[in-house]
Amino acid sequence: MKRELKVEKKMMGKNDGGSGASDRDDRPGEPTQPPKVSRRGVLRLFGMAAAGAAPLILLPPVLQKASDAGRVVESQGEPAKGPGGRIRQWTMIIDLRSCDGCQSQGTPPQCTTACVEGHFAPEPMEWIQIFEHELPGGGTQFIPTPCQQCQNPPCVNVCPVAATFSTPEGTVLIDQDRCIGCRICMAACPYDRRFFNWGDPPVPPEALLADYSPEHQVPAKKGTVMKCDFCPDMVRAGTLPFCIQACPNDAIYYGDLEDDVATNGKEIVAASRFLSENQAYRLKEDKGTKPRVYYIPGHGEAVGRDTADEGRLPTEWPWVERVKGAKTWRR
């Protein structure tokens, strides 16, 4: 029987870690260990060669230094290419076996906090939001939910001015300079992963110095739609996205489907095997949106979480403490 995951719209619309419904049963058995790739496969990852030791905020050493065979394009607007000139196809894999909503840390979800700080996202925007989802037999699991980077994106199909668009690398972006604020894309998104600036959002002074790009939506602008941008500019610069850097349990992987590799900053896996051997799924596959974000079933068991340990700390917007008017601003 074909297995399907159904996530209710109401789950995707709450900002307080709401819950949704699922009729998908996780398969029993021991978790499959992430397959290791060969040295050749490691050196091919993102078309980069080995370098010395590096902190987690950088790509793993094998990813950090561009090789002549597959140099990452750094200029904005050009797609990143791997060996042989193949265009990267970015993906994200979230291992729910290792996600406990940061309960073990005693903090709000760190992936969300890092994304908020890195993009100066105004409250209550959570570009990667942690939903607490009720399990069929009782208890809960946590589901980190960024933009799903659909390959058949309803938002792109309905935008009347082409402000939201798909890139050759597979990411879906929004150009705030073109956005007219009609919000049709928000109505079309089945994952409720888009946010609108109703007023003049408060931003810190350093955000005003940023060179605006659809790949890094800083600073926020009144009357425009914003969302997770998948941070392709960070990968080109040699670092992993904010959410992956911040995850204390290494539950989030970023990779390239073209070269069939992914990393969480600590280990590198063969993406296709990692997905297949762990029965990965995508949210609302019945919608035909073809998301680029995959999930491995779990409830945090790999980091010692019990399904009965419900609740997580609310999201924080740390940067608002130093910006006048930010604490009282409402989207």
Question: What domains, with CATH codes, occur in the chain?
Answer: 9-150+242-322 (3.30.70.20)
Give the pLDDT of residue 324.
75
Cβ count within 10 A of residue 2: 5
Which pLDDT score is estimated for 42? Answer: 38
pLDDT at residue 179, as a whole number: 96
Residue whose C-alpha is closest to residue 186's, from 194, 177, 175, 176? 194
Q: Identify the pLDDT of residue 328.
A: 73
pLDDT score for 216: 86
| Model pLDDT, residue 13 | 39
What pLDDT is stored for residue 270 in this prediction?
96
- The DSSP bridge partners found for residue 48 are 66
Task: Kindly report the length of the chain.
Answer: 331
Residue 83, pLDDT score: 60
Residue 123's nearest CA partner among 302, 329, 270 is 329
Model pLDDT, residue 178:
95
Alpha carbon 192 to chain centroid distance?
A: 14
φ/ψ (deg, to 5) at 40: -60, -40
User: Does this model's pTM top 0.85?
Assistant: no
- The pLDDT score that the predictor gives to residue 39 is 40
* pLDDT under 70: residue ranges of the chain: 1-78, 81-84, 330-331
